[in-house]
Amino acid sequence: MPKLADMIYASRNWVEVGGKKWEAWEAANEAKNEECLQEMRSILAQHKAFDLELYKLFSMQEDNFTIPSEDDMWNLMQADALRKRIDDQRVFALYNMSKEEIAASHFGDFLAKFSYVGLDLIELRAVYACLPKVFLNDPNDYKMIWRNQVREKLFKWTVEEKEGYLSADIIRHPVYRHLPPSIKVTM
pTM above 0.85, yes or no: no
**Residue 14 pLDDT grade (very low, low, confident, very high; cuts 50, 70, 90):** very low
Q: Is the pLDDT of residue 7 over 60?
A: no
Q: Do residues 124 and 156 touch, judged by C-beta distance below 8 A?
A: no
**Residue 43 pLDDT grade (very low, low, confident, very high; cuts 50, 70, 90):** confident
pLDDT at 30: 94
For residue 112, count CB atoms less than 10 angstroms from its CB and return exposed for 0-12, middle for 13-18, buried for 19 or more. exposed
Measure the CA–CA gap between 167 and 145, rounded to whole angstroms.
Answer: 27
Contacts of 117 (CB under 8 A, 6+ apart): none
CA–CA distances in Å: residue 81 to residues 47, 86, 93, 178: 11, 9, 18, 9
> What pLDDT, in 10s, does the model give residues 49-92?
666 666 666 665 555 666 667 776 666 677 778 888 888 899 99
DSSP 8-state class, residue 95: G
For residue 70, give the nearest of 81, 82, 78 by alpha carbon: 78
> What pLDDT, in 10s, does the model give residues 121-130?
999 999 999 9
Q: Do residues 175 and 80 touch, judged by C-beta distance below 8 A?
A: no
CA–CA distances in Å: residue 6 to residues 1, 20, 97, 128, 131: 10, 21, 45, 36, 36
Measure the CA–CA gap between 102 and 90, rounded to whole angstroms.
Answer: 14
Measure the CA–CA gap between 157 and 121, rounded to whole angstroms.
Answer: 7
pLDDT at 160: 93
CA 11 to chain centre: 33
Measure the CA–CA gap between 134 and 144, rounded to whole angstroms.
Answer: 7
Q: Do residues 40 and 95 touch, judged by C-beta distance below 8 A?
A: yes
Average pLDDT, the chain: 81
Measure the CA–CA gap between 120 and 117, rounded to whole angstroms.
Answer: 9
Rounded (10°) CA dihedral 47, 49, 55, 58: -90
